[in-house]
Each structure stands twice: as structure tokens, then as C-alpha cells.
Chains A and B, each alone.
Chain A
């Protein structure tokens, strides 16, 4: 079998893991995830549409992409006999899917993302890995980083250059120190008709950004929601707590008790369940994960449709 070179990042110096939390996205793990995703999603557009093609169809197109082994269900007409004769293994030709579209990854950098320990690095990893997968599938991928407004934009691109530019943008991104908010609607202007969006956020607004997601869904062909939540934490101190909202600055004096963190986690889960229902009704794919989850596992489960739910 002819090995298709996968050196998407070949020759690129690894990023500094201290400066960029997303540097944990090493190429081997990304490639492994991309291979699995390629098997599962070969030719399938990453959206929930009514027209669901054969999951393993070799897409029609003009631009040759790669060879792969013949698998049960493949149309024998797509077998590249010459290549098969050379490799003594039946191979089919794959072409760049002309249906591959333009993706925009929308990353929330509001202060709440920085207030939950571990949430921001995981969000960066998910954004970088998701972009890698999309780029490997031939899509054009751009990046929008937003809080109250759109703070940074990486125009959509294709291939390795686009990925590296996107990684650099991620490396430069920081969550807000405080104040501001999570206004997803500010990103509507970035999206053209037919663009697909992946929103990576904690969705910690009273309506879980439901209204903005609805607007987004109306403009985009597909919307993926990846919710990253931190673990609620209550310091084990005697006496009261002065709680301050990272975004609004609102204060609240609270008397901690042993079950407080659990109740806050339940509120988080309730908010996530409402978001999930909202996404399902609107035809959006939703996955939730907590800090500490492995980014590749989160993405894999999201791609295969096993929608991860917050406990």
C-alpha cells in the first residue's frame, strides 16, 4: 500500500508549549486523529444535512487528493488499476471534495474563559485540532476570536500555511483580564452564506448564547458548538466569600457550605443541557467537555456524532 505522505506540518519547528497552551497539539496525535476522522468521515461533509452521502464514498472532483485502500462498499469504478498494479493492493483514487466548504472557528476569549482554571488551554487545543482536521479534509478554515466584539480575525485559508497562521493567531490570543462579555452575535458579520462555523466557548451567559446561536444558524450552513467548562471551586475557608463575576464585575457575598460547589456544577450542567436541547432543535451539533478532558477524545466523539454530554 502506498503511504500517502501526511507531513502536513513537516519541517515546521514545534511551538513553545509554555507560550502557547495549544502547543500540546503534537503532530503525531493530530495525524492519528486525522486518519481516524478520514476513515469515518471520508467524503462526508461535516454538517448535518438532509442529503447524507455514503459515509465512505470517494467524493467526485477534479483535483486528485490521494490514494487509499479499497474498502467494502467502494465503487469499483473508482479503482486506480495502475496504482493498484504497482502496489499490488487495490487502491481507489480520492479527489478533493468540491463540496468542501469554508469554515470559521469562533473562539470565545471573554474573561470567563480565563477565570475557570484550565478552560482556556483546552479551548485553544480544541480550536487548533479542529482546524487541523478541517484543513486535512480540504476545507478552508478561518479563525475569529471574540469577546464583546470581534477581537481578532484570521481569514480562511487552506493547507499548511493557513494552519500555521491559525496556530500563530491562537498563540497570540489571551483571555480578557476582566470585564467585557461573550457576544457571539458580533461574529455574524464574519460569516458569509454557506460558511460553516464551530463555536468554542463556555457559553456561560444566562441564555447560553442561545439567541446568538440561532442567528448564527440562520446565516451558516452548519454550526458546531463545543462547550468548555471549568470545575466549580470553593475555597475551604471559614467565613464568607466575596464572589466577583469575571466579566460583569458584579459582586456577591456568599456563605460557603460543603455542597456549594456541587450545586454550582449542577447549575452548569443544567445550563449545558438547555444548550444541547437548543442545538438539537436548531440542527446544530453540540459537545460539552470539562477541564481535564483530552482534546483528541473530545473531538473524536464530536465528529462521530456521539455527542459528549456534561455529567
Chain B
């Protein structure tokens, strides 16, 4: 594919008419003394008097050709050996790219202008995002405004994926357009070669809402409880107003002051009898450089989770923990995906069942040895206090893998068919419902029965704390060099240059030869 490196030189081709015009102004011509001029007059030469402005000297074509060839050589003609764009630009398309600078300019606008400047020389580029590696945006040189529009459309497209960095297998060393705010990006890019690195951004201050979660009240029937988590990802202490809204109407405000790097949680209780969407907003909005993380909203009705049926007389602690689990919704038996069976009788066939046979136990005293989780749960099983582990008699029909044991005494047994897990100690230990271990144990067992996490997606919304960082950070050094297209381009400037020299030599020979007698 032919291409011109410096097309502005081609404007010099406009000199051709000038060369033709100049060749019309040879006045008296080449002097020649002849013995008898009347013979020449009789020979019928075209005669003129004085300066002539007739047809130009035909040699102008050769000289215009020389100039044209020289101009062509200066314009850097070449042959692109592939259809690939000339440069590849990787852009850090995380939340930090959407921050607003202190002067009101969007960081994305700066990125578009940097791209426009790069494209002015390269002509064409393919843009890849660090968080959307498979999605390639091809950009042609053009106004920065148009490039910004295309970038916005591209970045608001399908959601970001995992962080991916250039592998180095590309034919060309890419460019990097990044903020470097996320330390994970900086770490991932370590050792990656970039021909040019364009840093973006100056703003550093950002207060972000990291999480908004709701759960039923742990103190029995009552308004649900909520939690909003904020972090100050900036470098200065910031005071902001957290406004909580239900169905768009504010119901609580809190003035929060956060030191740099601090994270705080603000608990709240939803107004009773309400079931609308809950929203947390940081005010004022214009005081923050990144507005994307200034609001979170959840709809309790739409939260995912599991349906559960409770059968038998469960201890109050168990009932409270089940009611407080944000991922469980109690339904009638026969419609539930899970079942909690608080009865000594073997549970009938049905959904996966957590069997909590009631006491009394075999021995009121806890085992002398500490509980040990099976290998499969060694990392996830909560540490259980020995005081809670009062074993109960193992009902018939419980066979299977032991998940928790204290010495030879099985405490939790899992059975595959029918699918059930039996807890062989009383879950009514002191404080078990108000400490984390009890609800976590219950969630662990129910999630194992359901085959999925019940708290993920959680009963709330959150975002990565690192994504709240917008302050520019360290970036890898550029390796430098040209646009990185040398290996894909064959320079053809030597050909017109050689042709111009040949024509020039011919012109010199013709001119000098004209002075010699034949």
C-alpha cells in the first residue's frame, strides 16, 4: 500500500507552472556569431524581436520533472507492507480515566487530544484498553473532538474485563496512554516495553462510595439495616455529605470527614414499611474529581439469593441468623431451594437440607480436643469456640463425609444422597448469633448445599477500593524511537531521487553539449 510520510512536501509540485513560466522569459537567446546573417534569414528561421513571451522553452518539462522527482523524494514515499495501523495505543480505561481535572477539563478530553497529536504523525492507530483487551478501536487522524466522541462511545460499550497488558508479541512496540493511579496497573505494566508513554491527569482528590448493603434486622422483625462504606482515595482530608435516599427521597444525611486513605462505614436504618430502591449519594457532586463513584443504589426486591424453608422448631439463635442472612428469603415448603430441618426425625425427600437435630447432646461438655475442619473447608471454615461445640447424639441415617470433627467425634457430616448436611452439635451456644462465627458457619453450610455463594452477589453493591484512586502514579519508561513502523514500511525515496539525478545529468549533458560544435 503506497504511502507518503510528509505529504506537505507535495505542495511544492505547484512550482511546475512557475518553472514553465520562467522558461518563457529567455530574452535574446544564446548568442551565435555567423559569417553571413542573410543566409540564415533566407533559411527561414523563426524570427523574433526583443524579449519573447511565446511558447516556453521545451526544456521546462525536463526541469519540472527534476523538481517533481526531488519533491517526491522529499515527501518520503514508501510502501506499507501490511494493512495494520501504524501505531498501537494501549489506554488505561479504568475509572481514573473519567476523572475531571481541577480546571474543569475531562481527563478523557486530554486523552483524545494526546491521541489526535499522535495520529497527526502516524495517520492511523488501533486503540486497546487495559481492561478490554479483545476490543480494538481503530482511529484515523482527525479532530480531537471527534476522537473524544469515538472514545466515549467505545468506553461506554461492553463492560470492562480483567486487567490485561501487552504481551510483547505485537509486530510493533505499542504506546501507552495511562494515569497510573491503580497500583495494580503499575505493577502489571512493570517490564512491558512501550515506545512512547503519555501520562494523563493531575487531579488527586477523590472520595468514593465503596459499598452500599442492606440486611434484615438482627433484632427480629423491624426495619432493615443498611451500611454505606466510603473511602478517601485522595491526598487531603475531605469533608462531604452522605445523603441516603429511598425511592429518590432523602431520608438521612450525614456529614463525614475522612483523612487521606481512610475508610469509614456509616450504618443506617431504612424507614419502616418501605420497599423501594435505596441510594447513597455524596454531596456536593461538583466537589469531587470522579463522579462515577459518588453514588450507589440497590433495590432490595431485586437482590439475588436463595429461597429457604424452615421446618421444625429451630433454636432462636438459628432463626435469628437465618432471618439476618441477606441472601436468604423464607418461602413455604415446596417452593424453597433449600431447607433447614430442625427435627430429630430423618428429613423427608426434598431440596438440599441442613439438618439441625435438636439436643439433648451426648455430653453436655464440649470435646477436649479442638475442632478440625476437613481439608475441603480448611480455609473457609470459621474458627468455632469450644464452648459452642456441645455434641448431640447422631441420629440414624446420617452417613457420609465428615466436614468438622473434634478428635474422633464428628460434628458436621455431609451426605450426598439425599443431599443433606447434618450439624451434630447444638447451635444455641452463648453469643453464637451475635458473633460473626455463627452466621458465617450457617452461610457456609447453606452455600455448600446450594452449590453457590449466597452472599455473592451480596445483598448490596460495591466497588473495588483501588478503583477510587485517581492520582497519577508511576508509569513505565518509554523505550523511545520513531513511530515503530520501520519494519513494516519500505522506503522508496531513493528511486525518485536517482531518477532526478539521472535527469539532472542528462540536462547538464544537453546543456554542455550545446556549446560544442558538431
Contacts and interface: CB of A to CB of B under 8 A. Distances in A.
B14 interface: no
Interface in A16-30: none
A112 B29 contact: no
B513 interface: yes
A264 B43 contact: yes
Contacts of B31: 241-242, 244
A87 interface: no
Contact of A230 (B35, B45, B59): B35
A49 interface: no
A262 to B, nearest CB: 9
Nearest to A115: B35
B49 A253 contact: yes
A203 to B, nearest CB: 10
B511 interface: yes
B30 A235 contact: yes
Contacts of A113: 35
B30 A242 contact: yes
Contact of A254 (B26, B46, B514, B517): B46
Given A236-B510, A237-B514, A264-B40, A244 B33 contact: yes
Contacts of A243: 32-34, 37, 40, 45
Contacts of B30: 235, 237, 239-242
A233 interface: yes
A260 interface: yes
A266 B42 CA distance: 10
Contacts of B28: 240, 242, 251, 253
B514 A204 contact: no
B39 A264 contact: yes
B82 interface: no
Interface string A152-191: 0000000000000000000000000010000000000000
Contacts of A253: 28-29, 47-50, 52
A239 B26 CA distance: 8
A96 B31 CA distance: 55
B515 interface: yes
Q: How large is the interface on B (under 10, 10 to 19, 20 to 34, 35 or more residues)?
A: 35 or more
A208 to B, nearest CB: 10
A205 B49 CA distance: 24
A250 B49 CA distance: 12
Interface in B30-79: 30-50, 52, 57-59
B42 A239 contact: no
A71 B59 CA distance: 69
Contacts of B50: 253
Contacts of A202: 35-36
A252 B47 contact: yes
Given A252-B40, A254-B45, A271-B39, A235 B34 contact: no
Given A253-B49, A253-B52, A254-B47, A237 B37 contact: no
B37 A244 contact: yes
Q: Please indicate which of the listed interface residues B28, B39, B58 has the most CB atoms of chain A within 10 Å of its own CB.
A: B39
A115 B511 contact: no
A271 B43 CA distance: 12
Nearest to A111: B35
Contact of A252 (B23, B37, B52): B37
A157 B47 CA distance: 50
A236 B57 contact: no
Nearest to A238: B59
B518 interface: yes
A206 B38 contact: yes
A241 B33 contact: no
A82 B57 CA distance: 82
Contacts of B514: 235-238
Nearest to A252: B37
5 contacts: A115-B33, A238-B57, A245-B33, A245-B34, A257-B45
Interface of A: 111-113, 115-117, 119, 178, 202, 204-206, 230, 232-248, 250-257, 260, 263-264, 266-268, 271
List 4 A-B pairs, minimum CB-CB distance, nearest first. Answer: A240-B29, A237-B514, A254-B45, A112-B35
Given A238-B514, A243-B40, 20 more contacts: A113-B35, A119-B35, A202-B35, A205-B36, A232-B34, A233-B517, A236-B510, A238-B59, A243-B37, A244-B32, A251-B28, A252-B41, A253-B29, A253-B47, A254-B47, A255-B45, A255-B46, A260-B45, A264-B40, A267-B42
